[in-house]
Amino acid sequence: MRMILVGPPGAGKGTQAARLVTKHQLTHISTGDMFREAVQNKTDLGQKAEEYMKRGDLVPDALVIEMVMERLGRDDCATGFMLDGFPRTVVQADALEAAMKQAGMSIDVVVLIEVPDDLIVDRIVDRRMDPDTGEIYHLKFHPAPAEIADRLVHRKDDTEEACRARLEKYHGETSPLIPFYDGRGILKRVDGVGSPDEVSARIAQQIGS
């Protein structure tokens, strides 16, 4: 299966992607994770991406497209993949579609996780990640066990200011993907309000598994 996960920042894409890749044995491609790793390793790409990310801006299309196309060409993507955080603009979606067509493939399903804006800022500002397991916690809604509390990290772009900028980008640049994929008959809408288990169940129902 070749799947795309779309939704505003804080919609729960990371949490649901981790569950879906295990369940359907897909290669997980998170462009946000790839950029964070590049920033941490201080690669050329990381240095170029860092400023955009800190501000909550999108990294320029050309850089993202090149990185994703290289990744999709690797063997572990041949049997199926989950794109999480890509595409985020219609230019990226067009590039992906052209590359898939050239390879004689297509995207099977696009899952859109919908969460109203007023819930997003609350979800994001108190979000924390366990760097050892990748598990995502929330100070109020999903607190981490006390023994790991000290190692939790707060993403640099999970401030209120950067979050508002990311939401603006989502509505301006990413939401046009909704009619783009709806027009191709592969968009599935899922209500992202509720517990991770509730959202997983809705996704399973929508994708018929």
Q: Which residues contact ligand AMP (rule: CB under 6 A)?
A: 9, 31-32, 35, 52-53, 56-59, 64, 85-86, 88, 92, 157, 166
Classify strands 127-129 and 136-138 as parallel, antiparallel or unpaired: antiparallel
Q: Please say if 23 is a catalytic residue.
A: no
Q: Please say if 71 is a catalytic residue.
A: no
Q: Please say if 151 is a catalytic residue.
A: no
Residue of 88, 123, 169, 188 marked catalytic: 88
Q: Are 158 and 124 in contact (CB under 8 A)?
A: yes
What minimum distance in Å lies between the beta carbon of 169 and ligand AMP? Answer: 7
What minimum distance in Å lies between the beta carbon of 21 and ligand AMP? Answer: 15
Residue of 2, 36, 123, 127 marked catalytic: 127
Radius of gyration over every alpha carbon of the chain, rounded to an integer in angstroms: 16
Closer residue to ligand AMP, CB minimum distance, 85 or 192: 85
Classify strands 81-84 and 109-114 as parallel, antiparallel or unpaired: unpaired
Strands (E), the chain: 2-6, 27-30, 81-84, 109-114, 127-129, 136-138, 187-191
Closer residue to ligand AMP, CB minimum distance, 34 or 190: 34
What minimum distance in Å lies between the beta carbon of 18 and ligand AMP? Answer: 13
Residue of 2, 13, 128, 188 marked catalytic: 13
What minimum distance in Å lies between the beta carbon of 8 and ligand AMP? Answer: 9
Burial state string for 106-132 with b = 16 or more CB within 10 A and e = fewer than 16: ebebbbbbebeeeebeebbbbbbbbee
Residue of 19, 48, 55, 155 marked catalytic: 155
Residue of 2, 123, 166, 202 marked catalytic: 166
Residue nearest ligand AMP by beta-carbon distance = 32
Q: Please say if 164 is a catalytic residue.
A: no
Closer residue to ligand AMP, CB minimum distance, 81 or 86: 86
Q: Please say if 189 is a catalytic residue.
A: no
CA distance 109 to 205: 13
For CA atoms 57, 169, 157, 153, give the dihedral sign. Answer: negative
Taking alpha carbons only, the member of 207, 185, 171 closest to residue 80 is 207
What minimum distance in Å lies between the beta carbon of 86 and ligand AMP? Answer: 4
Query: Which two structure tokens, joined as six digits, stand for 208?
Result: 């018929």
**Would you please indicate which residues are annotated as catalytic (active-site) residues?**
13, 88, 127, 155, 166
